[in-house]
Structure 1
Amino acid sequence: MFMKFLGGAAMALVLTGTAVAQDLPVLKASVLKFGTVNWELTTITENGFDTANGFDLDVNGVASGSAGEIAFQGGETDVIVSDWLWVARQRAAGRDYVFIPYSKAVGGVMVPEGSEAQTLADLAGGKIGIAGGPLDKSWLILQAYAQRELGFDLAGETEQVYGAPPLIYKTATGGDFAGAINYWHFMAKMEADGMRKIIDIADAAEAMGLDPETPLLGYVVKGEMLEQNPDLVNGLAAASRDAKDLLAGDDAAWEALRPKMNADTDAQFEALVAGFRAGIPAEGPVDEDAANTMLSLMAELGGEELVGEATSLPEGTFLQPGS
């Protein structure tokens, strides 16, 4: 899901100032206990990608992602994981936050095994389970896509049921929804459990003129931290890329992560690996024109309640190579 998907990966990193071997700074990570970002962070620490890039990563689990945002905004932490639209909104409000790409993973619309639905219009009269609220970015994109491409009022012709990702997953696999939208890793498990995807969010976004290669989720730092300690910020970005490069091609690295992945079957495990790999963003600078197009559409669909004063991409939103 747009920016939700990545369902539940928010985290906070605290620069503790503690010294370790070679006097490396320590980054303390406060991560949603079952978030998929744990897979990358574990890969970083177990393979020494943090120390190789000039810092020591210390990861701790938290019960909710919102706690990280609050702590970050209050100056109690140095880095969190969020979507770049949130960063753009904060920059438009005068807060100097910077986004380091982490994932472009999105989901799609799933229907039960045996459903005859082929398009969104075939869901008319049914219930749609949505992991999030009315301003969920994937849900907004799908409504706009259905109206433009199919002439179909998706919200008006269906009943929406909003809920937490695990609840939507359980209810959807039980066959109680005509269709369901969930975070990408829950959707991978739904597909492994026999549900069928009728449209990818990425395909709907592309039909709306958006670039599916735009990374959605990432690490967020303050501009002050980047200015005062660019080696530390760039070291975090490099360690993230090292972990992605390993996970992209090494199956053994995934076997080491399997206990953290909550996969009940081999099919679920394989679907989660494939989904993560598909979400790895390309190395290199973010296409800011494409991001601006996405932000403009989100402003049109969700208004100020979603993007605040950010009707166009604020300068400096993304950490670009060489910055």
Structure 2
Amino acid sequence: MTILKTLAGAALAALLSSLPVRAETPVLRAALQLSGTVNWEADTIRHYGFDEANGFRMEVIDIAGTPAAQIALVGGEVDMIVSDWLWVARERTAGRDVVFIPYSRAVGGLMVQADSAAKSLADLKGQKIGVAGSPIDKSWLILRAYAQKIEHFDLAETTEQVFGAPPLVYKAALDGEVEGALNFWNFGARMQAAGMRTLLTVGKAAEALGLDPQTPLVGYVVRGDILKSHPGLGEAIAAASRQAKNKLSADPAAWERIRPMMRAESDAEFEALKAAFLAGAPGEGAVDEVAAARMLKLMTELGGADLVGDLKELPDGVFHHSGS
């Protein structure tokens, strides 16, 4: 009997050793601001299992904001964050292996009160403008470039700017403390729902400057070593993101499920946020690096070292490509 048991054990061991080894599902630690709009998509991905359907599992860690997320990624504490590709380009120039996978091309616009007499940026000369962010905010720089090259005046010199956090700029605009407001796309949607109108979108300004409005600015930024360790993971992340957007586009119940985290104060605001989010979905296919290089050149001219550091040209490997 002992001999039979030994032979049976040996046969089982031989059988098991002949079976293919199943790769362990990679776990992607994502540092995201759960109060932000990216969580609408991240939560949709996890709820409907679009991550595991594409061969990975997303674990989300709440983080205070983009700077903290960037520090966590560079320090190896997390595998993925959401940031813009200009930061990725700076990091790659500094020798850090991080890669950009498009998430959104949604941008805001300069908004005014519905009864404002302004028809163009020039009509805001001598007035006060609220700007979400800082003087090197990318949307602000694009509007400045538009004013200089298309309307032939300096927007920064001829208006008074009030820089601040998006909620503060939003409140100042609704309260009439500023005559115009440039805010992030989601606050722009809320302002529109509250009765304000768009004077000029950042996308239209970029197009007039010869930039490609289809170039996504914001994306999932992933550590390069993670992508190399798990071939196909980059495509899997992009697929999960696309499937989440498709779900939100086709299924009203998917929006109703996440409506509480959107904090929409009215049905009009809810619908405006939905429309703006979906309108920002990036197209499929590779990012046009020639168009991205043109945008980088403009950002370098206006933002200088404070925005782009020592970056002179678009480095290789910023954007993820299928098979890379």
Matches of residues 151-170 of structure 1 in structure 2 within 5 Å? 151-170=152-171
Cα drift, residue 30 of structure 1: 2.8
Aligned to 1:294: 295
Cα drift, residue 176 of structure 1: 1.1
Cα drift, residue 111 of structure 1: 0.5
Matched residue of 2:100: which SS? strand
Separation in structure 2 between the aligned mates of residue 195 and residue 30 of structure 1, nearest angstrom: 33
1:203-242 superposed Cα distances (whole Å, 9 cap, x missing partner):
0001111000001100111222221212333322221111
Flag as ranges the 4+ runs of structure 1 deviating above 6 A.
none
Aligned to 1:84: 85
RMSD: 1.5
Cα drift, residue 23 of structure 1: 4.7
1:287-315 superposed Cα distances (whole Å, 9 cap, x missing partner):
11111111111111111221122222111
Aligned to 1:3: none
Q: Which amino acid aligns with 1:217?
A: V
Contact 2:142 2:206 in 1 (8 A): yes
- Change beyond 3 A, Cα 1:29–1:225: closer
Matches of residues 109-188 of structure 1 in structure 2 within 5 Å? 109-188=110-189
Q: TM-score, normalised by structure 2?
A: 0.90
Q: Does 1:277 align with 2:278?
A: yes
- Identity, in percent, stands at 59
Separation in structure 2 between the aligned mates of residue 115 and residue 174 of structure 1, nearest angstrom: 14
Cα drift, residue 90 of structure 1: 1.1
Matched residue of 2:51: which SS? helix
Contact 2:190 2:269 in 1 (8 A): yes
65-74 or 182-191, which deviates more:
65-74
Q: Which amino acid aligns with 1:107?
A: G
- Change beyond 3 A, Cα 1:278–1:292: same
Q: Which amino acid aligns with 1:241?
A: R
Q: Which amino acid aligns with 2:229?
A: Q
Q: Which amino acid aligns with 1:38?
A: N
Separation in structure 2 between the aligned mates of residue 49 and residue 175 of structure 1, nearest angstrom: 43
Separation in structure 2 between the aligned mates of residue 266 and residue 39 of structure 1, nearest angstrom: 17
Cα drift, residue 258 of structure 1: 0.7
Aligned to 1:55: 56
Q: TM-score, normalised by structure 1?
A: 0.90
Give unmatched runs, 5+ long, in structure 1. 1-21
Aligned to 1:41: 42
Cα drift, residue 97 of structure 1: 1.3
Instruction: State the structure with more CA Rg.
Output: 2
Separation in structure 2 between the aligned mates of residue 322 and residue 251 of structure 1, nearest angstrom: 34
Q: Which amino acid aligns with 2:147?
A: A
Give the total of aligned pairs.
303
Aligned to 1:6: none
Aligned to 1:14: none
Contact 2:234 2:322 in 1 (8 A): no
1:259-296 superposed Cα distances (whole Å, 9 cap, x missing partner):
11110001100000000111000011111111111111
Separation in structure 2 between the aligned mates of residue 35 and residue 208 of structure 1, nearest angstrom: 30
